[in-house]
Structure 1
Amino acid sequence: MDTSLSLRKRLKWHLGVFAAIVATLPVLLLPAPVAVALGGAAGSLAFRLLGKVRRNTVTNIRNALPALQSMEGWDPAAGTPEEIARRTFVNLGRTAVEIIKLCYGQGQGLVEGTELRGMEHYLRAKERGKGVIFITGHCDNWEIVAHAFGTHSDGMAVVARRQKYEPLTRLLERLRNRHGNSVIYADGAARQIFFRLRKNGAIGLLMDQAVHPSEGELVEFLGKKAWTTTMPALLAAKTGAALVPGFGRREGNRHVLEFFPEIAPDPAGDPIATTRLLNRAIEAYIVRHPDQWLWVYNRWKRVPAEQ
């Protein structure tokens, strides 16, 4: 029974991959600007058709809105939760098309056209010789900007989770290993991370994922507690590595990857307090670019109701 179920599951995945390849072929035939524009239109259509996802996205934004409105940099012109959600879907549609182009080797222009700003913050941190941990999140097109750093600078090792479907893991690994970058998988990552930091290398961590309770702590994020990895705080305390925020954003038809000043760990050495400082860096991005963050994802899952 288990073997039969496994076979059916693999068959389902293979059929899904085949359907995805067929569906993406038109993207390959169009120039990037046209394809990306159509991706935005598809995202807008998905906003209308995917009722459950739309409602969950709007709820996430609505719940976070009081916290956003209390932060410096909030622009009331950002609109209602529904308007922010619609633009979020548009951005995701564009991002999906760009990643398709990248997977098929047609995204070089998108990568090379990405501008890096604030590099002085990275270079200053690197001068200390202890390694650099980039604090980032699912902002803009996080795959494109990672490739841009590898193309225009030293490259980094991205800490990622293995996918449930192994062929998808291999596909993403091939994608992320381009342009001077590499992948470190979260399971058993400590040794590789320490080795890279000792060589004064750079590590990229997407901190805005809800980790399992055994892998992190409940730390405030956008006004509510969320399960958050404390790995960057612990690594910085143990190795002296610099914690440097860096986020991508979409400006017209191109991307910008901007780095910000290094975040000093909590003076008392409290990893939760340091992690809260890192969450604030992500919040500062979201408050200025609310429609370029991954609101469709439930950042606050598995949190007890009393929190």
Structure 2
Amino acid sequence: MLGPVRRVGQSRADPRAPAARLGVMSASPDPLFARLKARLLLALTWLAGRLPRRWLRGAGARIGARSARRNSRDFRITRRNLELTATGTTQGERAALAEAILAHTWATLLETLRVWSRPPTEALQLVGAVHGLEHYRAAREGGRGLMIATPHYGNWELLALYLASLDPLAVLYRPPDSRAGDLYMHRVRSAPGVTPVRADANGVRQLVKRLRGGGVVGILPDQQPKAGEGEFAPFFGQPALTMTLYSKLAARTGAAMLVAFTELQADGRYAVHFQPMPVAVAGDDPAALAALNRTIEAVASRDPSQYQWTYKRFKIRPPGTVPDNPYWPDCYGRASPRSRG
């Protein structure tokens, strides 16, 4: 649904990384070239969407497994995140879980190409069960706006389609650095009933207006914001730079709050879950952010293999923290010859 628009494991360049990996882009790319590139990406997405879902998920799982065997950067980032958060586990257990996470992430990524390129009614056939719909209905009573927090769990793009089948939905997204990528992501996420909103000052004003008008807004609150756009709060025992927008908007607008996510089931279909959000999440203080992160932890802990641990969630640390970047240098560069452990 929302969240950082990046390929698996991609992050903004670290100033200490080799210059060849900085990926500096032109500030003013040619608009015609950007449109053509976006159209090419859309065409490739359409073609991939013609393939059977089992082929896409199978291919994604094999890519993830190969990535783990090659000790890729994605695998090393995932393993480092588990070292930081999965206390009480062995090195072998963390390596096995990291491989399962990569397999799920890649399978879901390729599956999402089909979700984006098929009619919503067809994509929604992947939803096999819905739990807690009464919480959604109760939140919609009285005409209040509704803020839905969606962790990076399961398939959040499918969730956006399901939410839009209930009410028109505005989804906040952080545009990628490239103009072509932005055009592409805006197009594939502009499904019937879904309005993508850029994560900038104008976008926030749109969200406030929609919430005060009784509308529904979706936000992925567990992405790491830019430096200066969040505050530190505990997340799985680690200080994590946490988005303040969700909590501040809830306090400012008086909107109702819910947690929603999809979870892949044994039969290959997804269950949609709605859960109440603790009242303490609405506010402009550290306690609100801590409550928000505890809620996300509870979802991510249901099945850790379905949570997106493939990016550097703890890269920005509080001043004076040692190490200041726990991913440096092992999680930079391409495949490493080091043992998977």
Same fold by TM-score greater than 0.5: yes
1:243 aligns with 2:257: yes
Which piece of structure 1 moves more, 36-45 or 11-20? 11-20
1:178 aligns with 2:205: no
Structure 1: gaps (5+ residues): 70-75
1:143 aligns with 2:157: yes
Structure 2: gaps (5+ residues): 1-24, 322-341
Aligned-residue offset at 1:95: 1.1
Aligned-residue offset at 1:272: 2.0
Give the number of aligned pairs.
292
What RMSD over aligned residues (CA atoms) do the two structures have, in Å? 3.0
Residue type at the aligned position of 2:58: A
Aligned-residue offset at 1:259: 0.8
**How do 1:132-281 residues align onto structure 2 when only pairs under 5 Å count?**
132-151=146-165, 153-188=166-201, 189-252=203-266, 253-265=268-280, 269-281=283-295
1:102 and 1:108 in contact (8 A); partners too? no
Aligned-residue offset at 1:290: 0.5
Looking at structure 2, the residues matched to 129 and 164 of structure 1 have their Cα atoms a distance apart, in angstroms, of 37
SS in 2 for 1:120: helix
2:251 and 2:284 in contact (8 A); partners too? no
> Structure 1 residues 101 and 54, CA, compared in 2 at 3 Å: closer, same or farther?
same
> Structure 1 residues 27 and 237, CA, compared in 2 at 3 Å: closer, same or farther?
closer
SS in 2 for 1:260: strand
Match of 1:60 in 2: 81
Match of 2:114 in 1: 101
> Structure 1 residues 6 and 212, CA, compared in 2 at 3 Å: closer, same or farther?
closer
Match of 2:317 in 1: 303
Q: Give TM-score scaled by structure 1 length.
A: 0.84
2:101 and 2:306 in contact (8 A); partners too? yes
Aligned-residue offset at 1:50: 4.9
1:286 and 1:293 in contact (8 A); partners too? yes
Looking at structure 2, the residues matched to 18 and 171 of structure 1 have their Cα atoms a distance apart, in angstroms, of 7
2:235 and 2:294 in contact (8 A); partners too? yes
Between structures 1 and 2, the one with greater helix share: 1
Aligned-residue offset at 1:279: 0.9
1:42 and 1:93 in contact (8 A); partners too? yes
> Structure 1 residues 306 and 103, CA, compared in 2 at 3 Å: closer, same or farther?
same
1:218 and 1:225 in contact (8 A); partners too? yes
Q: Give TM-score scaled by structure 2 length.
A: 0.76
Looking at structure 2, the residues matched to 52 and 228 of structure 1 have their Cα atoms a distance apart, in angstroms, of 24
Aligned-residue offset at 1:34: 2.8
1:244 and 1:259 in contact (8 A); partners too? yes
> Structure 1 residues 123 and 108, CA, compared in 2 at 3 Å: closer, same or farther?
closer
Match of 2:72 in 1: 51
SS in 2 for 1:93: helix
Paired-residue identity, %: 29
> Structure 1 residues 22 and 104, CA, compared in 2 at 3 Å: closer, same or farther?
closer
1:130 and 1:239 in contact (8 A); partners too? no
1:285 aligns with 2:285: no
1:230 and 1:275 in contact (8 A); partners too? yes
